[in-house]
């Protein structure tokens, strides 16, 4: 890595920052927007790495400058060379996000390799609009021939994916322990009270999550044009729409491997008797002899199997804040079943995109 010239800190001074959105992403965040409890904005810009750490430049940006960047009126190079405080921080983070080194750097001391090109205008996917607490109009592009079933199914499945990812985005900001209500159901109960033995649990779960969405972020159709191409324009929290698009893109990149994993997950759940309602009496007369089937998870305990399976799904679908999901789910097994339910939603959305019917 490049040598840093600056003032060293024992502890990184900007600890109390909350992520707003990833502005650029490729196999991990490259440029992320954060804010502190006073509303000041900071950018984390990935600039270097070695075998042990990733290096980030961190600097404050004004409302005017970040809006100009997002509207492509100024470049990332401009932001880095003209930070709001006239200096930047460099922080090296290891693979579990522990600080290894941090420095205060004057702009003139920045290594040349850390300064983006002149044409480094914002043109990333996902696109993010500033002021994420506002609802924005977002278009799903549609094409080809649609049936009434398609017109019903896509918005329904998209809504459920939106509710789930909205919760993951917002849950970290809630007070602990979680007193928030989902309708008339307390948040921990909404996750842990359903047996997750069939479609009814999933239906109730997503209904509860929809009640958690703030009124200004509820999904509403703003316009619809059926044509090839056409669109479904929706009022929503745009950063969540980008998370859906990321998950669909990630699924399509590894659909074959994910499909095989999903089959193994359900095979193992069935072998362990975790798909059957434990309160439902067995019909011994019809019970068939057990056949021993080996899977990659056979030697693991139930907790180890659920944790490893959840980790695989999270990695493949590029999800974040999964620890908060585990906290409110109450068990690793419930976490896995929730993730499998979300996987099925993304699988459907990805199929429509692969058929050329919709682009998210």
pLDDT digits (tens, 9 = 90+) for 11-57: 888 878 888 888 876 556 888 999 998 889 999 999 888 888 899 99
**Can you point out the beta strands (E) in the chain?**
7-8, 18-25, 29-35, 41-49, 54-61, 87-93, 99-106, 136-142, 181-182, 185-186, 220-225, 230-236, 358-359
The structural domains of the chain, with segments of one domain joined by +, span 7-114, 136-359
pLDDT of res. 220: 92
pLDDT of res. 130: 35
Q: Please give the C-alpha separations between residue 119 and each of 4, 70, 78, 116, in angstroms, as whole numbers.
A: 25, 14, 10, 8
pLDDT of res. 185: 39
Q: How many Å separate Cα 28 from the centre of its chain?
A: 11
pLDDT of res. 318: 87
Kindly report the backbone phi and psi dihedral angles of residue 260, in degrees, each rounded to the nearest multiple of 5, phi listed first: -65, -40
Cβ atoms of 209 and 194 within 8 Å: the answer is no
pLDDT of res. 168: 84
Residues ≥6 apart with Cβ < 8 Å to 104: 6, 7, 9, 87, 88, 89
DSSP per-residue string spanning 117-143: PTT-----SS---S-TTS-EEEEEEE-
Token duo for residue 90: 């460099």
pLDDT of res. 221: 92
Token duo for residue 331: 């068990």
pTM, two decimal places: 0.58
Q: How far apart are CA 322 and CA 327, in angstroms?
A: 9
Which parts of the chain have pLDDT scores under 50?
A: 124-132, 175-186, 188-189, 200, 277-282, 285, 289
Q: Please give the C-alpha separations between residue 358 and each of 139, 142, 175, 238, 282, in angstroms, as whole numbers.
A: 10, 4, 38, 17, 44
DSSP code for 27 = S
SS3 20: strand
Bridge partners of residue 33, in order along the sequence: 21, 43
Token duo for residue 80: 């880095």
SS3 102: strand
Bridge partners of residue 93, in order along the sequence: 54, 99
pLDDT of res. 276: 57
């Amino acid at each position: 890595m490049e040598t840093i010239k600056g003032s060293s800190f024992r502890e990184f001074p900007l600890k109390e920052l909350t992520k707003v959105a990833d502005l650029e992403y490729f196999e991990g965040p490259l440029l992320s927007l954060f804010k502190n409890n006073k509303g000041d904005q900071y950018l984390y810009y990935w600039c270097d790495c070695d075998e042990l750490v990733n290096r980030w430049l961190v600097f404050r940006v004004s409302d005017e400058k970040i809006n100009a960047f997002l509207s492509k009126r100024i470049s990332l190079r401009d932001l880095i060379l003209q930070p709001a405080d006239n200096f930047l921080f460099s922080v090296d983070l290891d693979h579990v996000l522990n600080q290894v080194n941090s420095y205060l750097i004057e702009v003139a001391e920045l290594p040349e390799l850390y300064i983006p090109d002149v044409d480094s205008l914002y043109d990333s996917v996902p696109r993010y609009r500033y002021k994420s607490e506002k609802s924005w109009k977002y278009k799903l592009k549609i094409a080809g021939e649609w049936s009434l079933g398609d017109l019903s199914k896509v918005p329904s499945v998209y809504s459920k994916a939106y509710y789930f990812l909205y919760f993951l985005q917002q849950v970290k900001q809630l007070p602990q322990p979680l007193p928030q209500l989902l309708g008339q159901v307390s948040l921990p109960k909404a996750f842990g009270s359903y047996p997750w033995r069939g479609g009814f649990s999933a239906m109730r779960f997503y209904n509860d999550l929809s009640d958690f969405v703030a009124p200004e972020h509820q999904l509403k159709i703003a316009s619809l044009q059926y044509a090839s191409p056409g669109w479904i324009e929706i009022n929503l929290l745009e950063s969540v729409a980008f998370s859906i698009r990321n998950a669909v893109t990630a699924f399509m990149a590894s659909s074959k491997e994910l499909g095989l994993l999903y089959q193994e997950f359900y095979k193992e759940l069935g072998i362990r008797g975790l798909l059957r309602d434990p309160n439902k009496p067995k019909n011994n007369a019809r019970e068939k002899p057990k056949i021993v089937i080996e899977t990659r998870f056979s030697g693991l305990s139930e907790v180890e199997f659920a944790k490893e399976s959840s980790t695989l799904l999270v990695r493949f679908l590029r999800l974040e804040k999964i620890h908060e999901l585990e906290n409110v789910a109450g068990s690793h097994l419930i976490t896995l079943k929730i993730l499998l339910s979300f996987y099925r939603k993304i699988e459907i959305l990805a199929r429509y995109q692969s058929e050329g019917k919709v682009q998210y």
